[in-house]
Chain A
């Protein structure tokens, strides 16, 4: 215990360094500088040539294991679909809930992949957006083997085979889609809310949650102004920024949330908040007084996509698992739990069929799911939903500061 005594520390910190010490430190620093002076290399990758992709896959073989990194609450707790996968294919799995935010995940993955190392995951899930775009542009996503996705080809919905951010399904396969809308706590909000204006209503001063993500909050600012985010201009971003700034300065916003908005609204810290559809349904099932709606002015739809990161150890096994999720019965089991929009339309009928054999509450829950426009949107529903703004790197450097100066003031 006595050696913990502090004068030595204090003395060391306050005594002047001798010149010799300074020179030694300078020498070491110079070595460090020499290492660092070359800068951080850019790695913009050209689209892969078909031959190269074929060669790559010809060299790979099944290793009998796969590591899957996903978002929290995105897989039944008993790992049902994964266990079946293991039984049927003999490939053992490791499932990790390691992804909480696209930006944060990319920020952590970038230096690792840049250095040519492996993340230790064979599949990761990322939302369509800036970071997924970066992954593809930087060559961090392995071009998929188009011959190893029979279930996807047979069962995926047309919308999920033609996605503007990954034409031809070269790098990604959708895991689930969801809607960003508004959730409110019915214990505190007695009215039936329908409009996006509720988020800007002075009546809820200090009781409104907004998302911290620049794209999410920016989209809602634009939708409130009647602008379609996908077609927005720099001027629209600035106007949306003004509106959101006024909302903050009026004291309406309590906090800018990440994933933890859902706890805040279910325990009543905020009464209404921007929210992701599936999160709210899961809480409803758990009996919490939360309700979700898509504002009549519009909400946004996004898709979480599976991809194989560069240098993954088990790409063949990863392909097998990704395609396995497109078996209708597996997709149904998964969607019954996560309650987002599944890329496999056949799930709706499977849920109805299951409802016939079920009874009581279970039956009702299954029917509700099958009829939910938020799990199986019709064309009319899709028309109300907007896509994310597509940004170039240069635009991103304008877009992000506009909204971050509000969320991180």
Chain B
């Protein structure tokens, strides 16, 4: 009995995974190979060509999503790392206040926040309108309906998911380690490069994972902030599923996206050398 206990304890977790992950995934895999239409129903025909058609038809949007997702992730890293660093090392006793402020906007719905950006960045709105009236920007200048707006929206919406893991990693760095480095004649830059940065890499790794995946798959920012050539793969999946009721194509696209992301993540883990990262963290 005692030997079974850990398994019994794990049972709810396994059930949860089975019911909410494995079964839907299997159902989706099955639907992705069916043919039919919403009125007559869909039947299993093992038509692998669904994948070819879906990828062939929407490769532009797929590649574009990966590019936008990557750009947003890099932007989040560039903005997020200094923020996390500052809170972890200079935050002092008010660390939790800063973290709370960071999360505060996220108590409002994601879609509403994105729509509000639409108002903020309107061509003659609070920001651009003012700059234009001061003559700092040409009258035709606009931010909305551009790729920049979409990437900026993605960056804004997932920034905390980049900052928090990095913060957690940096927070665990013992300040005495840095002092020791400096005692051994490391410059401040060298101490950061050789000590702090490697120790924070697990946080960076997790942050990138937690932001790149949802940013690539997101349909909302492209729809609200984008223009004519900014459709992302999430929008296509949404249209195929909700508008065209073409469940097989939607499923095939979802699986393709998932596969591409998984391959990307594993490649990334290899390149960054997870083993080294983990060893650095364990030390």
Contact = CB atoms under 8 A, between A and B. Distances in A.
Interface of A: 1-2, 4-7, 9-11, 13-14, 25, 28-33, 35-37, 39-44, 103-104, 106-108, 110, 134, 137-138, 206, 214, 248, 253-256, 258, 260, 263, 267-269, 393-394, 397, 400, 404, 408-409
Contacts of B171: 1
Contacts of A393: 37-40
A29 B30 CA distance: 11
Interface stretch (B68-76, B175-183, B221-229): B221-229
Given A29-B25, A33-B26, A40-B42, 19 more contacts: A1-B168, A1-B171, A10-B206, A10-B269, A10-B274, A10-B278, A14-B266, A14-B274, A36-B23, A43-B41, A104-B243, A206-B142, A254-B145, A255-B226, A260-B118, A260-B224, A267-B122, A400-B243, A409-B229
Interface string B204-229: 01100100000000000001101111
Contacts of B169: 5-6
A261 to B, nearest CB: 12
Contacts of A1: 168, 171
B26 A36 contact: yes
Interface stretch (B78-86, B151-159, B189-197, B233-241): B233-241
Contacts of A43: 41
Nearest to B121: A269
A250 B113 CA distance: 32
Contacts of B206: 6, 9-10
A7 B140 CA distance: 49
Q: Which of B22, B25, B228 has the most A CB atoms < 10 Å from its CB?
A: B228
Contacts of B243: 103-104, 107, 214, 400, 404
A39 B122 CA distance: 46
Contact of B41 (A37, A40, A137, A254): A40
Contact of B242 (A36, A104, A138): A104
B227 A254 contact: yes
B149 to A, nearest CB: 11
Contact of A255 (B119, B172, B228, B277): B228
Given A7-B278, A10-B206, A33-B30, A110 B118 contact: no
A31 B231 CA distance: 36
Given A39-B34, A39-B42, A254-B145, A267 B125 contact: yes
B261 interface: no
Q: Which of A13, A30, A260, A408 has the most B CB atoms < 10 Å from its CB?
A: A408
B168 A134 contact: no
B193 to A, nearest CB: 21
A108 B142 contact: no
B54 interface: no
A269 B142 contact: yes
Q: Which of A6, A44, A258 has the most B CB atoms < 10 Å from its CB?
A: A6
A384 to B, nearest CB: 29
Contacts of A258: 223
6 contacts: A1-B171, A11-B274, A25-B22, A28-B18, A206-B140, A253-B228
Given A255-B228, A269-B122, A10 B23 contact: no
A7 B282 contact: yes
Nearest to B226: A255
A214 to B, nearest CB: 8
B59 interface: no
B160 interface: no
Given A1-B171, A28-B18, A40 B23 contact: no
B34 A409 contact: no
Q: Which of B26, B122, B224 has the most A CB atoms < 10 Å from its CB?
A: B26
B168 A4 contact: yes
Of all A-B residue pairs in the complex, the 4 with the closest CB atoms, nearest first, are A42-B41, A32-B26, A107-B242, A36-B27
Contacts of B39: 42, 44, 134, 137-138, 393
Contact of A28 (B22, B168, B228): B22
A39 B43 contact: yes
A56 B39 CA distance: 24
Contacts of A253: 228
Contact of A5 (B31, B172, B247, B274): B172
Contacts of A394: 37
Nearest to A252: B228
B41 A32 contact: no
Nearest to A30: B26
B44 A39 contact: yes
Given A6-B168, A10-B202, A393-B39, A409 B265 contact: no
B227 A42 contact: no
A221 to B, nearest CB: 15
Nearest to B265: A13
Given A10-B278, A32-B23, A268-B124, A263 B118 contact: yes
B55 interface: no
A175 to B, nearest CB: 22
B27 A408 contact: no
B30 A36 contact: yes
Contacts of B269: 10, 13-14
A102 to B, nearest CB: 9
Contacts of A106: 242, 245
A288 to B, nearest CB: 13
B208 to A, nearest CB: 11
Contacts of B115: 260
A95 B198 CA distance: 57
Contacts of B124: 267-268
B157 to A, nearest CB: 18
A397 B27 contact: no
Contact of A107 (B25, B27, B227, B241): B241
A7 B37 contact: no
Contact of B205 (A4, A10, A31): A10
A9 B168 CA distance: 14
Contacts of A137: 39
Contacts of B274: 10-11, 14
Contacts of B245: 106-107, 110, 134
Interface string B261-277: 00001100100001001
B105 interface: no
A269 B145 CA distance: 10
